[in-house]
Amino acid sequence: MGRHTYKILAALLLLAGGSTYLWVRQEDGSNRPAPSQAASVDSGQSSDASGIAEQPGGLAHHWEATFASGDVDAIVLAFKQANDCLLYHAAVNGMRSMLEDERRGDLSNETVETLRMMDAESARYAFVVERLEGFCKGSDKRQLARVLSNALFEAAVRGNPDAQTCFLLMGPTPWLGSRLITEEAAEIERHIRHTSGFTQQALQRADPRVSVQALHRYVNTPNGHASWTDTVPMPDPVLTWRGARLAALRALPDQRADVESLLALFVKTGALSPADIQSADRWAQDTFERQFRGEGAINVCSAVPCYSSPELAP
């Protein structure tokens, strides 16, 4: 990591001081945020320099007002803002870990590839903190977890596609460890009850990221450990295939190859007949030509819909 980048990280960590820095010192950083969200520039709701978290009542008060309004778009923005701020906290914690890493004292033994990865990681942390500092500074991780969970679920139940997708991609894990045990149990139960229905709706609209996630469920080898997903019905195989095939056509080149490999494994499960596969392939190709031909490739492995701005998505 270059000397200039190191100085930038150190300066940003100091700027992120106050309650955020104290939180970083007290937390182990083990709870990685999910695909996240900040105030949307396009929507005109860019980050307030004063920081909504530092205003009276913080994000909890903001969420209550949003929920009372019944405005689905505002509820969607609320879950994205909360997720953005969890991403901000993780970036602050990541910067601190990098600065305290003893390897930074002598980089002479590191490979060029390792140094490039370290620089990319530090640049990512710096970007997130600079982008979200004004809005998220002073926010509380546990409060953020509650806002994210409640706003995300409320918007998903109301049929918002982004919220349903993020509910499925994130699962309950992003905020487990940030809430009371009883809250965590209720969170898992909520996912057990609604994952199947939200998945069906997402597959019906051929959501590329949910389709790839559903494909993984068919081809992943059970690891022998109990999971909350064990009781969730398998997704519709035809919808899974056609959505994943369309996702492959739209994906970045390396991701397309990965999805195609998974589809080859799916064939071996016997869940679909050759006629089913042929029909689903034809649907995917026709849909691609009709709706997506000429568009840029998308990252089907990044939870872009879960953040207020695409560039925030890891």
Give whole-number Cα distances, 214 to 24, 77, 261, 273, in Å: 35, 26, 14, 18
Please write the tens of the pLDDT for every residue from 279-311.
999 999 999 999 999 999 999 999 999 999 889
Task: Give me the pLDDT at residue 21, please.
Answer: 34
Please write the tens of the pLDDT for every residue from 21-48.
333 333 333 333 333 333 333 333 434 4
A 10 A CB-CB count for 244 gives: 30
Q: With pLDDT > 90 as the criterion, what percentage of the chain qualifies?
A: 51
Range with the poorest average pLDDT among 59-63, 77-81, 154-158: 59-63
C-beta separation of 91 from 129 below 8 A:
yes
Task: Categorise residue 187: left if φ over 0, alpha if ψ from -120 to 50, beta otherwise.
Answer: alpha
Please write the tens of the pLDDT for every residue from 103-119.
556 666 667 777 777 77
Please write the tens of the pLDDT for every residue from 199-232.
999 999 999 999 999 999 999 866 667 888 889 9
Task: Give me the pLDDT at residue 180, please.
Answer: 65
pTM to 2 decimal places:
0.79
- Whether pLDDT at 4 is above 80: no
- Give the mean pLDDT of 49-58: 56
Range with the poorest average pLDDT among 4-13, 68-77, 121-130: 4-13
Task: Give me the pLDDT at residue 41, please.
Answer: 31
Beta bridge partners of 251: 298
11-15, 188-192, 241-245: which has the highest mean pLDDT? 241-245
Alpha helices (H) along 220-273: 237-250, 253-269
164 or 149, higher pLDDT? 164
